[in-house]
Amino acid sequence: MTNRIFSIAGEPGIYPFTGGLYPEGYKSRRPTIREFAGHGLALDTNSRHLMLLKQGATGLSTAFDLPTLMGRDSDDPLCEGQTGWDGVAVDTLYDMEGIFKGIPLDKTSVSMTINAPASVLWAMYIAMAQRRGISPGQLSGTIQNDILKEYLSQKEFFLPEEYGVKLVIDTIEYAARNMPKWYPISISGYHTREAGSTAVQEVAYTLSAGIEYVRKSIERGLKIEEFGPRLSFFFDAHNNIVEEVSKLRAARSLWARIMHERFGVPISSKALWCRMHVQTAGVTLTRQEPQNNIVRVAIQNLICLLGGAQSMHNNSWDEVLCTPTEEAAKIAVRTQQILQEETGICEYPDLVAGAYIFERKTMEIEEAAEAEIDTIENMGGMLAALKAGYPQRMIRKSAFEYESMVERGDITVIGVNKFSCDENEEPISVSEELEKRMEFEAHQIERLNRVRGWRNKFHVEKALQELREAAQKDMNIMPYLVRAVSTYASLGEICSAFKEVWGEYKERDLFGSYPHTSTMKEAVEKYRLQRPFRILLAKGGLDGHDRIMHTLMEFYKDLGAEVIYPGLHCSMKEIAKRAVEEDVDMVGLSTHIGSPIVFFSRLSQYLREAGSQDTVVIGGGVIRARELKALSALGVKKFFPVGSSFEDIAKFVYEEASN
């Protein structure tokens, strides 16, 4: 009996690869188990990597903390409370060396989730390998390095768009010339989906970005055969089985067609391949009854396999509460292994081939995504569309629709809007982990100062100067970066050099108009303020999750308050100074990433130093049960966790304004 399976949309191994890249599917090549890991200092992450390899992970993936993702050193005032918190802190090559201690770089495929400063971290990785006698050509792995989606949805950036893209093309060129086994980019839809886009938008905006990178690489003088096969992709696995499996098939097919039809790549070329890493959807995990997340992740992992992904990451069940504990990370790996080894799913390629519902959905998504790509292309491509704010607006709209559906109960979330429970004890493992994290900042700054003490200052200065000159002359920056990091110049010093030459990204589209839900309207009418109560609304540190800020700004305005928003990326000192000068009645601080304890204690301290201890401080966002108790001791009058009702917020503000 033949195991050829016929799909109306497209067979595995044959252009346009709807059913998979390989004719035999996972029978010929098992998907890579690539678990994302990183927290604390280099050595904490090193031991996690070693544990994962020991448990049978087949690739590594490093998560960096927010200061690193933003190209800043751990002692930067903007990084307070965030060092080592959501990933590992890297300031210099010394940290990179610590992370990969004892790991054979020529035998391990390493992925790094890093974007705006990806070229710098990659240079550190290359420099580290060279010191161990391994040439760049022997290294295999991936850097995420998709700057367009940072401007689109993730918002971790620091350079103007043109220079952000220039750095990406530098890395693509460098890989094409020197590192044939490396994927210099993982063009990502994951963050766009997590920011609230639809499945169709996820495919459309990701592939539109892909088109932009191809075009820019060709403009640089590269041949499509040199870099095309080394472009990789990164998608999200959300809850809806039919839609998500079909989405992955549609993306694969559409990319092959784009490369063939728009760029003339022959159908025998690997440059047509949409190789994809897929991660389970973090946004679907719930803080309520968090162990239920194990089940959600398992199902989403099944979706990855049915969709024909090359590489997969399973979220850990506790990562809505903190970066994964060791135990939870192990369950995530085991889930992948159980699916791959116990269920027989890897025996056949494209299991959904011929299933009418899947086939039809695949074609629908492909068609709709292609139409949206044409819209973007007609605007002059993804870069131009981003500058015009078009895809951002579309995502914002979808996100709002999704939230409204959850609020109305049209989308069910078990334990949240259906079968919900009252009590949620924080798991002990999470509490212990959080305790440990409070010390990261001081230790990392001490580590950085040690390096600053023993490195050769003359060499550092010279290398930075050469880097500035290369940036001015518009040369490929990679060789200069490898030299600069080798002197133990820090990430922050290097990124500052870039900013000196190229300028800094300034946010646009700051004050959009945001639709109101019916519950917001009711709250506004019930609790209209009787005086212009002044509120400073701010975001803690480098975090870019600002959608809620825009919603709250309008909400408070409609209540009758005067709202001052200082923008993203303010230090606690800046927020305190703004609060003083604006003489606000209340400061509302939103925290999502990093330690709320550190944020609020510093803010209170600076307000006290300015003599403004009478200003009411409230908070909102992500908080753990244990932290919540500590906050009232810090003088935080109220904290509204994610999911608080607008009515409760309005009532609180009303009472404060009436005092």
Partner 1 sequence: MTVLEGKRRLAKLITSVHTNKKKVKDLLNEKELARPPAHIVGITGSTASGKSTLIDKVIDVLRKDNFTVIVLAIDPTDEESGGAILGDTIRMRDHYIDEGVFLRSLGSRGARASLTVRLSELIRLVSRFSDFVIVETTGAAQADIALKKCVDTFITLPDTRGDAINLLKAGHHRRAHILVVNAREGMHDDERYFALAKDFARTVTSKDGWELAVFRVNAGNGEGIEELVRAGIYKHKDFRRS
Q: Which residues would be at the binding site for partner 1 (CB under 8 A)?
A: 503, 510-511, 524, 528-529, 531-532, 553-554, 556-567, 570-571, 573-574, 577-578, 580-583, 609-612
Least separation in angstroms between CB 31 and partner 1: 45
Contacts 24+ apart (CB under 8 A), 376-380: 376/204, 376/205, 376/208, 377/208, 377/211
Residue with Cβ nearer partner 1 (467 or 538):
538
Of 4 and 528, the one with the shorter C-beta distance to partner 1 is 528
Q: Angle at CA 501, nearest 5°, toward 500 and 503?
A: 70
Nearer to partner 1, 90 or 607 (CB): 607
Q: Which is nearer to partner 1, 422 or 614 (CB)?
A: 614
Element (H, E) at 276: strand 275-280
Cα 284 vs. chain centroid, distance in angstroms? Answer: 15
Helix (H, G, I), strand (E, B) or coil at 135: coil
Q: Which is nearer to partner 1, 97 or 582 (CB)?
A: 582
- Give least dist CB 546 to partner 1, A: 12
Q: Give the distance from CA 51 to its chain's centroid.
A: 24
Shorter beta-carbon distance to partner 1: residue 102 or 611:
611
| Dihedral sign of CA atoms 176, 181, 184, 188 in order | positive
Q: Measured from the CB of residue 510, what is the shortest distance to partner 1 in angstroms? A: 6
Cis peptide before 349 (omega within 30 of 0): no
| Helices 118-131/161-178 angle, 10° precision | 30
- Of the pair 277, 578, the CB lying nearest partner 1 is at 578
Buried b (16+ CB within 10 A) or exposed e, 303-329: bbbbbbbbbbbbbbbbbbbbbbbeebb
Cβ neighbourhood burial of 379 (10 Å; 0-12, 13-18, 19+): middle
Nearer to partner 1, 221 or 611 (CB): 611
Rounded distance between C-alpha atoms, residue 272 and residue 260, angstroms = 7
In the complex with partner 1, the residue whose CB is nearer, 326 or 562, is 562
In the complex, the smallest distance separating the C-beta of residue 115 from partner 1, rounded to whole angstroms, is: 23
User: Least separation, in Å, of the C-beta of 608 and partner 1?
Assistant: 11
Q: How far apart are CA 176 and CA 96, in angstroms?
A: 24
Say if CB 385 and CB 208 are below 8 A apart.
yes
Smaller CB distance to partner 1: residue 259 or 584? 584
Closest approach of partner 1 to the CB of residue 407, in Å: 23
Give the Cα separation of 618 and 638 in Å (integer). Answer: 5
**The dihedral of CA 301, 302, 304, 305: what is its sign?**
positive
Q: How near is the Cβ of 492 to partner 1 at its closest, in Å? A: 17
Query: Going by C-beta distance under 8 Å and a sequence separation of 6 or more, which residues neighbour residue 581?
Result: none
| Token pair for 170 | 């530098």
Torsion sign (Cα): 372, 377, 381, 387: negative
Q: Which is nearer to partner 1, 529 or 618 (CB)?
A: 529
Token pair, residue 536, equals 């400073």
Nearest to 639 by CA among 615, 623, 658, 616: 623
State which H helix or E strand residue 286 sits in.
none
Question: Which is closer to partner 1, CB of 128 or CB of 524?
Answer: 524
φ/ψ (deg, to 5) at 66: -60, -45
Q: How far is the CB of 157 from partner 1 (least distance, A)?
A: 16
Measuring CA to CA, which residue among 112, 20, 6, 104 is closest to residue 64?
112
* DSSP type of residue 362: H
Q: Least Å distance between CB 561 and partner 1?
A: 5
Three-class secondary structure of residue 159 per DSSP = coil
Q: Which helix (H) or strand (E) holds 528?
A: none
Nearest Cα neighbor of 345 from 303, 314, 316, 315 is 303
Residue number with CB closer to partner 1 (64 or 498): 498
Judged on CB neighbours under 10 Å (0-12, 13-18, 19+), 659 is: exposed
With respect to partner 1, which residue has the nearer C-beta, 370 or 585? 585
Question: How far is residue 3's CA from residue 533's CA, in Å, rounded to a whole number?
Answer: 71
- 10 Å Cβ neighbour count for 225? 13
Q: How far is the CB of 576 from partner 1 (least distance, A)?
A: 8
User: CB-wise, 185 or 523, nearer to partner 1?
Assistant: 523
CB atoms within 10 A of CB 653: 26
Give me the residue label for tokens 């079968």.
419
* DSSP characters over 634-657: TTEEEEEETT--HHHHHHHHHHHH
Q: Give the distance from CA 333 to its chain's centroid.
A: 20
**Alpha-carbon span 208 to 386, nearest angstrom:** 11
By beta-carbon proximity to partner 1, the closer residue of 279 and 571 is 571
